[in-house]
Each structure stands twice: as structure tokens, then as C-alpha cells.
Amino acid sequence: MLRSITLLVTLLALPAMAETQYLCIEEAAGGVAHQNGRWSGTSFRTEDKYLVKFATQDGEVATYSGIPKYAIYRIGQKNYDLLCDGTTETRIFCRAWHGEFKINLSNLRFIRTETIGFWEDGEGRRSGTPHLGIGKCSEL
């Protein structure tokens, strides 16, 4: 009887743990770049594609308080770029020291920031290109 109850509870929990993956493609990007000795506004190529899926550590899904954590993987890279520390029914929030990635699950739009550069180099040397990118995701 105990085995039957354990099996039933496990089967009922599986849908809650089911992973939904997203492919996110950047459509527009802009920011600042260091050119000819000064910083100025510019647009950027939008070649980046991201896979949003559960983060894994040592082959196991990373969790926080039993809830699986999503991570942002650049297509073609093995390790994740950003770990997502907040997930609701309609949003996924991801942060790292170099920026953020936010997805609205209702309309599948995302915004990505890359804040490395400019502010951290007091010497005025080129040290990164802070920028903002936007795009759309599709559920896989």
C-alpha cells in the first residue's frame, strides 16, 4: 500500500517538473561602443540565439527549494551564460554580474542587457560594449 501511494505521488509530481524549453532569437540590439577615442551610441548585429532550459549541475537539474532553475545557454556553448533566479507563471528572470535576461511567457518576448564595460574602467580605455537586445522566443 505504501509503495502504491509513493508511486502515485511521484506520478502526480512529474507534470510539475516537466521542462519547457525555449529558443530565443535576438531581433534588435543597441548600446554604446568606444570608437575614435570616445564612447558613442551604436546599433549591433543581432546574430545571437539562446536556449532556455533547466540548469544542470553534475548531470542533475539544479533546484532552489525544490523548484527547477532555468538557465540561458548561447547556442553552440556547453555552459550556461546566465542562471535564472526567479520564475513565475508568466516570467523568467535571470541575472549575472554582467547583465540580465528577462522573458515574458505570456507574449514570449525577451530583453537582454550586457552591462560590462564603460563604468568599470576609470581610465577611459575600451573595456566592453554595454548594450541592450530584444527579441522573441518560441516554445520547443
pLDDT > 50? residue 13: no
Q: What confidence score (pLDDT) does residue 19 get?
A: 85
Residue linked to cell 575600451 = 126
103-113 burial, b if ≥16 CB within 10 A, otherwise e? bebeeeebebb
User: What size, in residues, is the chain?
Assistant: 140
The CA distance from 39 to 109, in Å, is: 29
The DSSP secondary-structure symbol of 11 reads H
Phi and psi, residue 70, nearest 5°: -85, 160
Per the confidence metrics, is the pTM higher than 0.85? no
Closest CA to 72 of 53, 96, 47: 53
Identify which has the larger pLDDT, 50 or 66: 50
pLDDT > 60? residue 123: no
- Residue 112: pLDDT band with limits 50, 70, 90: very high
| All structural domains of the chain with their residue ranges | 19-139
Amino acid residing at 20: T
Q: What is the pLDDT of residues 15-33, one digit of tens each?
A: 445 789 999 999 999 998 8
- Residue 91: pLDDT band with limits 50, 70, 90: very high
Compute the average pLDDT of residues 89-104: 92
